Amino acid sequence: MVLIMDIKAEANNLGFSLAGITSPETPDHFSVFESWLAAGRNGSMAYLSRADTLAKRENPRLLMPGTNSILCLAYPYPNAARQMKASTDKLLGMVASYARLKDYHKWLPKLIDDLIHCLEARLGYSIAYHAFTDSAPILERDLAWRAGLGWIGKNGCLIHPDAGSCFFLAEVLLELDLPQDKPYPADHCGSCTRCLDACPTQCILPDRTIDARRCISYLTIEHKGDIPRELRGSMDNWVFGCDVCQSVCPWNGRLLARDYPDVTAESEALLAQPDLIAELKLSEIVFKEKYDQYPLSRARREGDLRNVAIVLGNTKSDVAITALAESMTCDPAPVVRAACAWALGNIGGKKAGGVLHSQLDLEADEIVREEIQLALSRC
């Protein structure tokens, strides 16, 4: 027991807000995940339903034979609600809070190694372990709940009354046999429905899962190709991810003033609210240089610029027309050109219509042409 208290205290010293131990048995809500897949709610994330990854989610021991315990950890990132800034001279986008920090896959594993080395120093011998930070097929929220870290809220996030839900989850599979924590005993959502009411695409389901096919986080990050037309308007100004269901959650409200580790002025300035018109001009090389260390690189240039074009369309601002017209005629990626055409149609008016009209005969890609024609019908 003393050892467990030492691990948790050391985790806290290293910046982790929550820590708990569970077993490597099948996660309690594995069948909910199976039903979610069966309903096709994973969208184009086919890797989630592959037999080998499914088997690992069901049996975490397949990730590391000999696993006796799983240490679940939560590491905080700053709450979304702080980042809204008014600007009168620029059109600005929004980036999900977690993505404003350097990619956690690059720095969180080192902190976990430090924690395990402390544990080994206490024990006096080395232990076999394998750490994951959203980097393996593992039902992390389910295991974190069972390790006592919090309850799974109606928005599908793991929530703790003192830590909210804005944290990265990590799991350490250990060969060590440790006493397990009890599952989190309560559900503090009660009669609250704020996240359900606020979700722009109404994709939060009654079984506390999300229909990824309609979720802005999925659409702007994981989804490749065109974003379904009926959902583009709901993106509002979200360029990468979406924090709405976490921002409105009362359990996150109290954490605004907290000091978070590893938030640098540099990343705040770089990613808090991208200047949309400048972003639309990023070349492949500049995109790579700018986002190499950041989660935004996951969307790749064409995904990022597709999102930027849609968000510019959502602003309905004439100021965006010149930049959108230039990208619609010159961008090498059809998905970006198509998004620019949609955006021009959404802004509408004579000027946007003129640009669309003159590009119709010059565009060779069938999908982009179709988008231009549809856009023209709205001008």
Q: Quick check: is 134 catalytic?
A: yes
Which of 94/375 has CB closer to ligand SF4?
A: 94
Give the pair of three-digit tokens for residue 95: 């980036």
CB of 98 to ligand SF4, least distance (A): 11
Among 131, 163, 221, 242, binds ligand SF4 (CB under 6 A): 242
Instruction: Work out which of 217, 273, 315, 346 binds ligand SF4, going by CB under 6 A.
Output: 217
Q: Are 343 and 320 in contact (CB under 8 A)?
A: yes
65 alpha carbon, distance to own chain's centre? 30
Active-site choice (134, 162, 207, 318): 134
Which of 73, 149, 204, 356 contacts ligand SF4 by CB under 6 A? 204
Tell me how far the alpha carbon of residue 198 is from its chain's centroid.
17
CA atoms within 13 A on the CB side of 103: 14
Q: Is 149 in the site for ligand SF4 (CB under 6 A)?
A: no
Residue from the set 155, 314, 327, 359 that interacts with ligand SF4 by CB under 6 A: 155
Look up residue 240 and give its amino acid.
Answer: F
Task: Please enumerate in sequence order all residues whose Cβ is within 8 A of that of 379, keeping only pairs 6 or more positions apart, or say none.
Answer: 344, 345, 348, 349, 350, 352, 353, 356
Q: Are 337 and 328 in contact (CB under 8 A)?
A: yes
**Residue 189 found at the interface with ligand SF4 (CB under 6 A):** yes
The verdict on 232 binding ligand SF4 (CB under 6 A) reads: no
Q: Is residue 255 involved in binding ligand SF4 (CB under 6 A)?
A: no
What does the alpha-carbon distance between residue 182 and residue 6 come to, in Å, rounded to a whole number?
A: 18
Cα atoms found within 13 Å of the Cα of residue 350, Cβ hemisphere only:
0
| CA-based nearest residue to 213, from 352, 44, 13, 20 | 44
| Segment near ligand SF4 (CB under 6 A); pick from 34-42, 79-87, 244-252, 312-320 | 244-252
Angle at 80 between CA 166 and CA 201, to 5 degrees: 95
Q: Specify the residue, 177 or 230, whose C-beta has the smaller distance to ligand SF4.
A: 230
- Does 64 participate in binding ligand SF4 (rule CB under 6 A)? no
- Binding of residue 237 to ligand SF4 (CB under 6 A): no
The residue within the footprint of ligand SF4, chosen from 37, 192, 374, 376 (CB under 6 A), is: 192
158 binds ligand SF4 (CB under 6 A): no
The catalytic residues are: 134
Q: What is the contact surface with ligand SF4 in residues (CB under 6 A)?
A: 153-155, 189, 192-195, 199-201, 203-204, 210, 215-217, 242, 244-245, 248-251
